[in-house]
Each structure stands twice: as C-alpha cells, then as structure tokens.
C-alpha cells in the first residue's frame, strides 16, 4: 500500500483515538468512545500490516495466536478484584515489548553496519531505558498487589543514595550508547541497570500508593512505545504512545490529588514505612457495637436521608446488585439515597463507578467526595459497605499513619453510621480504623452481599 495511504490511515486512527479518549470522560458516552478508540487501533494495526516489505506475516500470525490464547485465558480467569494486578502486568509487558523492539532495531542497524542517525539513537536509548524500568517496576507492583511479596515499603540504609547513584550511572551509560551505539556491552549494561532501577524504584513504595504507581507505569509504557515509534519511524505508534503517556500522567495527577500527596512524596517518601499497624492505638482497647440487619432497619425507619459509601468489600462480595436493590427499597420508603464515591475506593480508578453502573445505579446518584462531604452532617444514616481506609478519620489527624493527609469521606459526621464488613480486619493500608469505635457507629458483621440482602428484607418488613 502506498505510503500516503498508510499515513492517512494513521491520521484517521489518531483522530479516532483522540475522540475516543474525549468520550471516555463521561459514563454516558464512554461505551461509544471505547468502540471508537478500538476502531482507531484496528485501523492503525491493519495499516502497519500492509506496509510492504517490513512485516514477516508468519511471525506476526504466531504472535497473534499465542498472544490471543494467553489473553483469552487471562480474561476468563482473572477476577474483577484482581484487575489492578492485571493492569500492572499488561503495562509491564507493554514496556518490555518496547525495550525489546528498540534493542532489536539496534541489532538490526549493527548487522547492516549503518549507524542510526538523527533522533533514532536517542529514541533507542529512551525505548530501552523507559521500557525496561516499566517492565520490572510493573512486575514488582504486580507482586505487591498479588501479595507475592510484602505490600509494605521495603527499605534499607542509604536507599536514596543507592537510587541516586544508580540514576547517575544509567544516565551516563545512556549518553555513552547515544555516542557509540554499536558498543553492545555498554548497551547491555544500560539495559541491565534500567531493569534494576525498575525494581529499586518500586520496592520502597507502599501498597497504599500502588494506584499512583500503576497509573505512572501506565504512562511510562506509553512513553516507551512513543520512543519506539521514533525508532521505527512509525507515526501511528508515536501518536498512540504519546496519548497513553499523557493520559497516564493526567490520571497520576488525579490520583495524587485524591490522596493529597505530591508525586515526589509518593516516589521517594517510602510511604507507609512508618508503621504497618499504625493508627489510633487507644481505639483498639474500646469496644464496638454489633447490630443485626433487623436492628438497623429500625433506625432506617426513622430516617429521611442515607448516603451509601461503597468500598473494596462491595467489589469482593459482588454486592453491587444487592446494594442497588437496597437503594431502590429505601427510596420507595421515602428515604433520599445518594452514593458517595471516593476516588481511590476499591482497587482501581473508577472501580466503584464501574460496579454501580453495571448494577444500573443512575449516574446522578453517584456523588464525588468534595461535593458530598458537606452533606454528611445533615444526613441521618451513612451506610458504609466494605469500605475502610477511605472513611478512616485518622487520615485527618494521625501524623504517623500511612494514610495521613489522604482526603476521606466524612461519614463520621453523619447522625448514624452503619458499617458492613466481615470482621475487625483492617483495609488495604493495614491500619485500624477509629470510626468503628465511635459512639454513633454500629457494625453489622457479615459478607456484604448477604448482609445487604438481609437489610433489604428487614427494611421491607419494618419501615
Ligand atoms: P479497604 O480499605 O481496602 O477496605 C476494604 C474492607 O472491605 C476491608 O476492611 C474488609 O474488611 C472489607 N471486606 C472485604 N471483603 C468483604 C466482603 N466480602 N464483605 C464485606 N466486607 C468485605 O477499601 P477502601 O475503603 O475501598 O479503600 C481502598 C484502599 O485501596 C485505599 O487504601 C487505596 O489507597 C487502596 N488502593 C486503591 C486503588 C484504586 O485505584 N482505587 C488501587 C490499589 C490500592 P473484612 O475483611 O473485615 O471484611
């Protein structure tokens, strides 16, 4: 196919990708945006496959078959709750692929005996550096989220000095490769140090900061692909890589803001190192009030407003449909219901929105944290379903707590607070929650789905 048609196809793909991204910003247009972006990607892939003389079809076909098989098995087997690990893994593979393509191109130049010129040597170096850091960094993030290694920050003496020296050595080797691209030992050294850097940069970051790390690694995988696009002279890859890089950075900023942290603090602060079992020590000596769904229904019978706060436990229990049924039941009894959505509730950005949308909860009922917080003091009942860290008041006051500074949903300011969870176990950050011991808090112990369904029954009978 002629070069003009290929370039035109890439341009069409870029327009579709940008429009698709734009439409992803609203739940109403998101499904169409997703389709549009997928169509853009399809056009880019087909155009690339039609570039004459570059593509080795049997190898591509083998890759498609093996990749699709692995993809199907993973998609069928991975639980919704394990999506963040899956995303981490996919980012890692993206980065690894870019590093391999950049390396293969360098070897190709070496075999042909022609020196890469212009931006290409810099792009090769960036492709391997960012790609390798993304690969190993994502594997560590995956291992932390999958609990294959300790989620808490792994620290050692002089860690920052070691990381700084490693950074300087990597930049030195990168410059050496640009000046002398065919010196393969130096190139191997750069690849090795970059792989090591990915590991060392992510191990000191605590589990609670993983959302930020994953969106940052997602951005890196895009930047690595963009660099590889320059290596291959493929404008489609340059554009799609930059879109992933830029949108990943925007998401990183949103996640940092949601946790009231700066990116520097997340990356170099060894967040959560202070105390794994931190929190308000005194709270542990106090007792909690255990309520049954029937007791809770009595309180609902005297209420006019309720804010439901979903969290990770709702996802684990797959309780979203039951929660929707509860909201409908309460509304039928004349109780005004809203859902409070914390930006980092659950285990991936937008986790609660996705689950509640799946259960057909009207989008207008989902209210963002900043908007809903002033409403808690005037609300009769705050019903916390499987959330913990995002409603932990220690985040406001306990300087030593790993979640200190993270904005929370102010459920403790409601008249009555019900918390549905199975035990007194902590949430993701591993800290106890003083909310559970407050005078106005009542615990309803049990699996979220069963308990919410029992509450629906009790409300129907009593209210
Ligand atoms: P959380 O703090 O992890 O707490 C979830 C609670 O759900 C647990 O205390 C658990 O208590 C309960 N639970 C688990 N299974 C349950 C079930 N079947 N039925 C009822 N309850 C159940 O969750 P969160 O408040 O949503 O906070 C999210 C945390 O994850 C934050 O620390 C955030 O930084 C972190 N994180 C977020 C993302 C993201 O992108 N959103 C990604 C990675 C990490 P029991 O065991 O006692 O039931």
pLDDT tens digits, one per residue of 172-205: 999 999 999 899 999 999 999 999 999 999 999 8
Query: Does residue 86 belong to any structural domain of this protein?
Result: no
Indicate whether 244 and 326 sit together in one domain: no
Last residue of a domain, one of 268, 303, 318: 268
Indicate whether 26 and 105 sit together in one domain: no
Residue 271 has pLDDT above 90, yes or no: no
Residue 65 has pLDDT above 90, yes or no: yes
Is the Cβ–Cβ distance between 298 and 455 less than 8 Å?
Answer: no
Query: Does residue 283 belong to any structural domain of this protein?
Result: no
Query: Does residue 273 belong to any structural domain of this protein?
Result: no
Indicate whether 160 and 305 sit together in one domain: no
Query: Which domain, by its residues, includes 53?
Result: 1-77
Looking at the 3D structure of the chain, how many domains does it have?
3
pLDDT tens digits, one per residue of 350-384: 889 989 988 999 888 999 999 999 999 999 999 99
Cα distance between residue 205 and residue 252, in whole Å: 15
DSSP 373: G
Cα distance between residue 81 and residue 370, in whole Å: 26
pLDDT of the residue at 316 = 93
Q: Which residue owns the Cα nearest ligand 1 atom 38?
A: 347
Query: Does residue 282 belong to any structural domain of this protein?
Result: no
* Ligand 1 atom index nearest CA of 84: 42
Q: What percent of the chain has pLDDT over 70?
A: 96
Is the Cβ–Cβ distance between 421 and 443 less than 8 Å?
Answer: yes
Tally of CB atoms within 10 A around 112:
8
Tally of CB atoms within 10 A around 447:
16
In the reported structure, the alpha carbon of residue 309 is separated from the centroid of ligand 1 by a whole-number distance in angstroms of 12
Q: Which residue owns the Cα nearest ligand 1 atom 40?
A: 348
Indicate whether 28 and 52 sit together in one domain: yes
Indicate whether 318 and 424 sit together in one domain: yes
Output the six-digit token pair for 419.
């918390």
Which residues are paired to 339 by β-bridges? 308, 366
Residue 419 has pLDDT above 60, yes or no: yes
Last residue of a domain, one of 211, 238, 268: 268
Query: Does residue 180 belong to any structural domain of this protein?
Result: yes
Query: Does residue 375 belong to any structural domain of this protein?
Result: yes
Q: Which residues of 137-165 are buried (b: 16+ CB within 10 A; e: fewer)?
A: bbbbbbbbbeeeeebbbbeeeebeeebee
Residues taking part in catalysis: 389
Is the Cβ–Cβ distance between 381 and 411 less than 8 Å?
Answer: no
pLDDT of the residue at 381 = 97
Indicate whether 97 and 68 sit together in one domain: no
* Ligand 1 atom index nearest CA of 433: 9
* Ligand 1 atom index nearest CA of 403: 32
Indicate whether 441 and 292 sit together in one domain: yes
Arithmetic mean of pLDDT, 158-170: 93
In the reported structure, the alpha carbon of residue 312 is separated from the centroid of ligand 1 by a whole-number distance in angstroms of 4
| End-to-end Cα distance, the chain | 70
Last residue of a domain, one of 20, 43, 77: 77
Indicate whether 312 and 217 sit together in one domain: no
Query: Does residue 246 belong to any structural domain of this protein?
Result: yes
Residue 265 pLDDT class (50, 70, 90 cuts)? confident
Output the six-digit token pair for 176.
């050496």
Indicate whether 203 and 130 sit together in one domain: yes
Indicate whether 136 and 243 sit together in one domain: yes
In the reported structure, the alpha carbon of residue 218 is separated from the centroid of ligand 1 by a whole-number distance in angstroms of 23
The CATH number of whichever domain residue 302 belongs to comes to 3.40.50.1220
Residue 276 has pLDDT above 50, yes or no: no
Indicate whether 314 and 421 sit together in one domain: yes
Query: Does residue 390 belong to any structural domain of this protein?
Result: yes
Indicate whether 71 and 120 sit together in one domain: no
């Amino acid at each position: 196919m002629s070069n003009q048609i290929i370039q035109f196809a890439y341009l069409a793909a870029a327009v579709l990708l940008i429009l698709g991204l734009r439409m992803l910003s609203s739940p109403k247009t998101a499904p169409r945006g997703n389709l549009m972006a997928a169509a853009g990607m399809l056009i880019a892939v087909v155009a690339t496959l039609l570039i004459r003389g570059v593509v080795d079809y049997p190898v591509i076909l083998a890759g498609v078959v093996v990749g699709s098989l692995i993809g199907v098995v993973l998609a069928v087997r991975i639980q919704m709750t394990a999506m963040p690990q899956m995303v981490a893994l996919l980012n890692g593979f993206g980065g690894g692929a870019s590093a391999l393509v950049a390396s293969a191109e360098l070897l190709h130049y070496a075999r042909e005996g022609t020196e890469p010129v212009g931006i290409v040597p810099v792009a090769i170096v960036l492709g391997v550096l960012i790609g390798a850091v993304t690969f190993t960094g994502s594997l560590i993030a995956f291992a932390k989220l999958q609990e294959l290694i300790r989620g808490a920050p792994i620290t050692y003496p002089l860690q920052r000095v070691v990381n700084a020296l490693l950074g300087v050595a990597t930049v030195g080797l990168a410059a050496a490769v640009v000046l002398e691209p065919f010196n393969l030992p130096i190139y191997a050294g750069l690849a090795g140090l970059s792989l090591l850097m990915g590991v060392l940069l992510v191990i000191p970051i605590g589990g609670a900061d993983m959302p930020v790390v994953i969106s940052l690694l997602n951005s890196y995988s895009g930047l690595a692909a963009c660099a590889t696009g320059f290596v291959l002279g493929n404008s489609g890859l340059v554009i799609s890589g930059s879109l992933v890089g830029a949108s990943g950075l925007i998401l990183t900023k949103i996640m940092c803001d949601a946790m009231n942290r700066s990116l520097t603090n997340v990356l170099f602060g060894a967040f959560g190192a202070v105390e794994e079992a931190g929190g308000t020590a005194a709270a542990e000596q106090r007792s909690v009030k255990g309520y049954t769904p029937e007791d809770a229904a009595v309180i609902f019978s005297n209420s006019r407003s309720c804010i439901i706060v979903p969290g990770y436990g709702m996802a684990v229990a797959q309780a979203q449909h039951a929660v929707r049924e509860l909201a409908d039941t309460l509304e039928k009894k004349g109780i005004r219901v809203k859902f409070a959505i914390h930006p980092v509730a659950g285990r991936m950005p937008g986790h609660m929105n996705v689950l509640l949308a799946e259960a057909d909860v009207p989008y207008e009922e989902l209210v963002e944290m900043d908007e809903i917080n002033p409403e808690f003091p005037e609300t009769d009942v705050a019903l916390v379903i499987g959330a913990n860290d995002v409603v932990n008041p220690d985040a406001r006051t306990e300087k030593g707590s790993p979640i200190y500074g993270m904005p929370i949903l102010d459920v403790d300011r409601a008249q009555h607070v019900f918390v549905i969870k199975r035990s007194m176990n902590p949430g993701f950050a591993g800290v106890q929650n003083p909310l559970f011991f407050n005078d106005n808090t009542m615990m309803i112990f049990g699996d979220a789905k069963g308990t919410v369904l029992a509450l629906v029954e009790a409300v129907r009978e009593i209210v």
